[in-house]
Amino acid sequence: GQQLNQSPQSMFIQEGEDVSMNCTSSSIFNTWLWYKQDPGEGPVLLIALYKAGELTSNGRLTAQFGITRKDSFLNISASIPSDVGIYFCAGQLGNNNDMRFGAGTRLTVKP
Amino acid sequence: EAQVTQNPRYLITVTGKKLTVTCSQNMNHEYMSWYRQDPGLGLRQIYYSMNVEVTDKGDVPEGYKVSRKEKRNFPLILESPSPNQTSLYFCASSFGTSGNYEQFFGPGTRLTVL
């Protein structure tokens, strides 16, 4: 079953505001990945994290792999209308090769 | 163009009528996977394959079958579909042998089982 808790479920923000979302789990993950899904399309990778404590940026996006390996956050600075979509965290669970996804954060940006 | 293709994109069927959703990738990727997406639940992995003839169950494999006879193709088979399998299905592939690396997703197949 679902083993990643992603929050918030949805966010309504004004253009230019910063956004923060996170994922937590009671289990240890080996990797954390953040994907974005635009309406009618499949998810696209934004950032991949492979080491505990790792902090990585990709343009206006910043993500961190928690020290305990049980959590990760994604920040988006100075949001713009094209940031609209659903953001998913994902990770490889323990020693398995299967992947777990969070339930998603639906982001709406008002111009 | 590097891509993952799925067919059909939309399918309406009836309970018990066997169906296959095809998935093909042209990137020579080792890893392929099937997910279903349901409101409030995100993506849940159905099956994955780390290489030809190697498949493993994901989080929600019940009611599904897969095969990996060739590297590029990974069809999803529903032997006897039921209404609770109504969902949006995504196929994905990755160059590594796990989902740890960037997965490239297909455009999705919306399945309705009446």
Dump pLDDT digits (tens) for B65-104. Answer: 999 999 999 999 999 999 999 999 999 999 877 667 788 9
* Overall average pLDDT of the A22-40 stretch: 92
Look at residue A1 and tell me whether its pLDDT is greater than 60.
no
Is A6 in the B-facing interface, judged by CB distances under 8 Å?
yes
Which of A38-52, A73-87, B37-51 has the highest mean predicted lDDT (pLDDT)? A73-87
Q: Mean pLDDT of all residues in chain B?
A: 94
Instruction: Assign B85 to helix, strand or coil.
Output: helix
Radius of gyration for chain B, computed over Cα atoms and rounded to the nearest angstrom:
13
Q: Name B1's Cβ contacts closer than 8 Å, sequence gap at least 6.
A: none
Is A55 in the B-facing interface, judged by CB distances under 8 Å?
no
**pLDDT value at residue A34:** 96
CA-wise closest residue to B81 among B65, B63, B66, B67: B63
Is B55 in the A-facing interface, judged by CB distances under 8 Å?
no
Residue of B nearest to A7 (CA): B40
Q: Which helix (H) or strand (E) holds A89?
A: strand A85-92
**pLDDT value at residue B17:** 97
Question: Distance (Å, rounded) from C-alpha A95 to C-alpha B75?
Answer: 26
CB contact under 8 A, B100 and A92: yes
Of the residues A99, A100, A106, the best mutation for testing chain B's interface (the one with the most B CB atoms within 10 Å of its CB) is A99
Residue A44's pLDDT band (cuts 50, 70, 90): very high
Q: Name A12's Cβ contacts closer than 8 Å, sequence gap at least 6.
A: A108, A110
Is B59 in the A-facing interface, judged by CB distances under 8 Å?
yes
**pLDDT value at residue A80:** 96
| Number of A–B residue contacts, CB under 8 Å | 72
**pLDDT value at residue A60:** 97
